[in-house]
Amino acid sequence: MSDKTNIFANEHNESPAQVIRQTMAVSLSDNGESVITFATNRGKGSGAQTLPVGEFREYVETLEGYVKDGLPESGEEEMLSAAETVRRTIKQEDGVISFRVRSGKGAKPAKLAADDFSEVIELLRSTVDSVEAAGASLAPADEADADASE
């Protein structure tokens, strides 16, 4: 009886913080750059957030500013850093805060219930040093040597 259909396959009641804890990873991109990848939610219309490790701290700091000061009225998209893309795309509709780390085809927004926003950003803040250390450990040896001599 190997064919079965999960009745609850489309129901995801994990909190965004739980999804981040399960999905966050640092790796090397195809071009050798250290990147951080994580999802904030699962299901149709959602996708992983992927950004360079070098942009992660500013990205988290930008989101912390929105926790503290609130969200702007609207945003626009172009080729920007992850933090600048957040600044331009963050919005709240029907109690859901959404934002992107990149724009363009296939870019999916992170979506968080407004009630979860602060907790999720605190979780991301707690990972910044570990993400940067993991990214540095993945850097090619010649790049690591250059960083060490600065």
For the question of whether the overall pTM of this predicted structure is more than 0.75, the answer is no
- Domain ranges within the chain, ordered by starting residue: 16-136
Residues 6+ apart with CB under 8 A from 114: 92, 95, 96, 97
Contact 100, 89 (CB under 8 A): yes
pLDDT for the residue numbered 144: 45
pLDDT(70) > 70: yes
Question: What's the chain's average pLDDT?
Answer: 82
Provide DSSP, 105-137: TT---EEEEHHHHHHHHHHHHHHHHHHHHHHHH
